[in-house]
Amino acid sequence: MKSSFESAKESIISTKAYQTPQVDANGDGKSNTLTDLNLIKNVIIGNGTFINSGIPLVKKVWISPGKMVSQGNGVHIHVSNIYSQNDIAQVWAVITPPYTEKEFKEIDMKSLPSIELYPLSSKEYVGRYNGLTLQGTYRVSVFVRDNKGIC
């Protein structure tokens, strides 16, 4: 459980989203302490069965134009160097508009716009998003699902 928590924490931190993962294993009201992490280090979620199917990995994402896009214009999203032990079933991007921190905390994440990306090859996908309506910095998160349902 410790490695799962730390991996999830790093993933969330790298998105620059307004989330902070917490674990309080001993119930003392203080989260993410060394004691908490030591208490969960040998806890296994599920039955502990190793599944020999890695998570699909995206090595490169680029967006063009990358800066100074006018409202109403679109951006091209290009994903390449996708590695997966299984065939890719779906690649998509979720676009987060330039919300304030308060607005971001109140939004239903399922309501964020998303687009399907289409294959140029087995390791390269592209798509276009035309919904830039707010001025500011947009975040683009890319997701890959393989034919076993792993993402």
CA distances in angstroms from 149 to 12, 18, 56, 111, listed in the order given? 21, 27, 10, 22
Domain covering 57-146 in this structure, CATH number: 2.60.40
What are 33's two structure tokens? Answer: 């302490």
Question: Which residues face 140 on adjacent strands?
Answer: 95
Give the domain ranges of the chain: 2-40, 57-146
Task: Please write the tens of the pLDDT for every residue from 16-59.
Answer: 566 677 888 888 988 889 998 888 888 877 766 655 557 888 88
Give the integer Cα–Cα distance in Å for 30 and 8. 19
Q: Is 139 within 8 Å of 103 (Cβ atoms)? A: no
pLDDT computed for residue 52 by the predictor: 56
Q: Sorting pLDDT into bands at 50, 70 and 90, what band is 145? A: very high
Residue 10 has pLDDT above 80, yes or no: no
